[in-house]
């Protein structure tokens, strides 16, 4: 990817980022909920209307939309993402504390996904329309049809409650804490990714060069592992990048189910308590992570495929 392309891409990301931040800021601005009132309720106190009004004035919550937005934006650029109303801590602190557990969870789920999806997808493609293909397709079908939050609950019921193998509530620390959440998160993604692997490999298998190699007497295994599979990696990497977005989003539900101390969980509670700055900070951070990952995927794609590199 040329310097010019990279620059324009970064600019594009910036525009989108600003757009999203305006959008969420607008949403919170227009919402009927009131964070100050909520602050009181969260502490179990009845909100005193006078005090609420005073506090709102102090915090600048009555200022016009653009004023508030630019104030927030300015602070962000200085690294100050504001304070959380409900938890009374700097947003930065809260987000950074929760970032690592979520990344761990997403990473584990991704590892599971790769270990299961790739072999199954390849098998399914190589033996396509044979029994094993039908079995894998049936499995993936159920994988995408089953609601993952239900599965999470059922797995908890079975392994945590009945069999007592893992803790019901995760503290995000040990490996045992991670199993159920990552498996739950991984199920739907693995099913989808297996299908994508199958499609990619199947398409490669129908390439002309496969016929050419066969005509030269090259062994099937060499054709598959030496040529088809490496060539399939290119689209697979792109699909992986897209999956990561779903992975990051899917952690929310899973974290709530398992009371896992991650970003998603934090986001959900921030939303329910109308914690404006926390929501804004979360949206910004996750967007950046997501876009950076996509950028990396695109860059690697451009680099790995010699056709991209050499064709001008």
Partner 1 sequence: MALLEINHVDISYGKTLTVSDCSLTLNEGEICSIVGESGSGKTTVIRAVMGLLPGGGRVSAGDILFEGESLLAYDQKKWRSLRGHEISMIFQDSGAMMNQTRKIGNTFVEYIRTHENISKQEAWKKGTEMLERMRLPDGDRIMHSYPFQLSGGMRQRVGIAMGMTYQPKLLLADEPTSALDVTTQAQIVRQMMELRDEYGTSIILVTHDLGVAAYMGDKIVVMKNGKIEDQGDRDHMLHETENPYTQLLLDAVPSLGGKRYV
Partner 2 sequence: MKKKNFFLRYPGFTIFAILAAAIVLVAIFAPQITHGVSPIKGNLAEAIMEPSAEHPFGTDKMGRDVFTRVIYGARASLSSTFLLVMVIFVLGTFLGIISGYFGGAVDAVIMRLADMMMAFPGLVLAIAVAGILGASMRNAVIAISLVSWPKYARLARSLVMKIRHTDFVAAAIVTGSKTPYMLWKYMLPNTITTLVITAATDIGGMMMELAALSFLGFGATPPTPEWGFMLNEGRSFMQSAPWMMIYPGLAIFITVVVFNMLGDNLRDILDPRNED
Residues 6+ apart with CB under 8 A from 178: 104, 105, 108, 170, 172
Distance linking the first and last C-alpha atoms of the chain: 11
Q: Shortest Cβ distance from residue 140 to partner 1 (Å)?
A: 22
Q: Mark residues 194-213: x for contact with partner 2 by CB under 8 A, - for none.
A: --------x-----------
Tokens of 154: 């059922």
Q: Quote the distance between the C-alpha of residue 5 and its chain's center.
A: 25
Q: Shortest Cβ distance from residue 303 to partner 2 (Å)?
A: 23
DSSP at 262: S
Q: Which does 271 bind (CB under 5 to 8 A by kind): partner 1, partner 2, none?
A: partner 2
Q: Shortest Cβ distance from residue 80 to partner 2 (Å)?
A: 22
Closest to 91 measured CA to CA, from 287, 304, 270: 270
142 is an interface residue for partner 2 by CB under 8 A: yes
Near partner 1 in 216-245, by CB under 8 A: 216-220, 222, 226-227, 230-231
Q: What distance in Å separates the CA atoms of residue 159 and residue 256, rounded to the nearest whole number?
A: 18
212 is an interface residue for partner 1 by CB under 8 A: yes
Q: Which is nearer to partner 1, 202 or 289 (CB)?
A: 202
Q: Shortest Cβ distance from residue 211 to partner 2 (Å)?
A: 13
208 is an interface residue for partner 1 by CB under 8 A: yes
Q: What distance in Å separates the CA atoms of residue 146 and residue 180, rounded to the nearest whole number?
A: 16
213 is an interface residue for partner 1 by CB under 8 A: yes
Near partner 2 in 244-283, by CB under 8 A: 245-246, 248-250, 252-253, 256-257, 264, 267-268, 271-272, 274, 279, 283
DSSP at 84: -
306 is an interface residue for partner 1 by CB under 8 A: yes
- Please count the residues of the chain: 312
Q: What distance in Å separates the CA atoms of residue 49 and residue 37, rounded to the nearest whole number?
A: 8
* Helical residues (DSSP H) of the chain, grouped into ranges: 3-30, 35-42, 49-58, 65-77, 91-126, 131-145, 148-155, 175-205, 208-215, 220-222, 229-257, 263-272, 276-304, 306-310
- Which residue in the set 27, 53, 66, 308 belongs to the binding site for partner 2 (CB under 8 A)? 27
Q: Give the interface with partner 2 as residue ranges (CB under 8 A).
A: 12-13, 15-17, 19-20, 23-24, 27-28, 30-33, 128-129, 141-142, 144-150, 153-154, 156-157, 161, 202, 245-246, 248-250, 252-253, 256-257, 264, 267-268, 271-272, 274, 279, 283, 286-287, 290-291
Q: Give the interface with partner 1 as residue ranges (CB under 8 A).
A: 208-209, 211-220, 222, 226-227, 230-231, 305-307, 310-311
């Amino acid at each position: 990817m040329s310097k010019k392309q990279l620059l324009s891409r970064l600019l594009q990301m910036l525009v989108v980022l600003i757009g999203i931040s305006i959008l969420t800021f607008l949403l919170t601005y227009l919402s009927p909920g009131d964070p100050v009132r909520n602050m009181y309720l969260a502490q179990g106190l009845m909100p005193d209307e006078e005090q609420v009004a005073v506090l709102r004035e102090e915090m600048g919550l009555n200022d016009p939309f653009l004023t508030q937005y630019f104030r927030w934006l300015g602070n962000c650029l200085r690294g100050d993402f504001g304070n959380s109303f409900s938890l009374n801590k700097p947003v930065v602190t809260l987000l950074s504390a929760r970032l690592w557990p979520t990344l761990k969870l997403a990473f584990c789920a991704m590892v599971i996904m790769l270990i299961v999806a790739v072999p199954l997808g390849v098998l399914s493609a190589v033996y396509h329309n044979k029994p094993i293909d039908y079995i894998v397709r049936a499995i993936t079908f159920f994988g995408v049809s089953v609601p993952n939050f239900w599965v999470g609950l059922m797995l908890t019921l079975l392994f945590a409650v009945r069999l007592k193998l893992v803790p019901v509530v995760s503290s995000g620390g040990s490996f045992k804490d991670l199993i159920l959440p990552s498996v739950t998160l991984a199920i739907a993604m693995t099913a989808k990714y297996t299908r994508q692997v199958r499609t990619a490999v199947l398409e490669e298998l129908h390439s002309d060069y496969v016929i050419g190699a066969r005509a030269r007497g090259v062994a099937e295994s060499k054709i598959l592992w030496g040529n088809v599979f490496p060539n399939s990696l290119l689209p697979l990497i792109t699909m992986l990048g897209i999956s990561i977005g779903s992975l990051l989003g899917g952690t929310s539900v899973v974290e709530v189910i398992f009371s896992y101390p991650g970003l998603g969980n934090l986001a959900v509670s921030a939303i329910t308590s109308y914690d404006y700055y926390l929501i804004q900070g979360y949206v910004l951070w996750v967007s950046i992570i997501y876009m950076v990952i996509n950028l990396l995927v695109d860059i690697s794609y451009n680099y790995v495929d010699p056709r991209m590199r050499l064709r001008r």
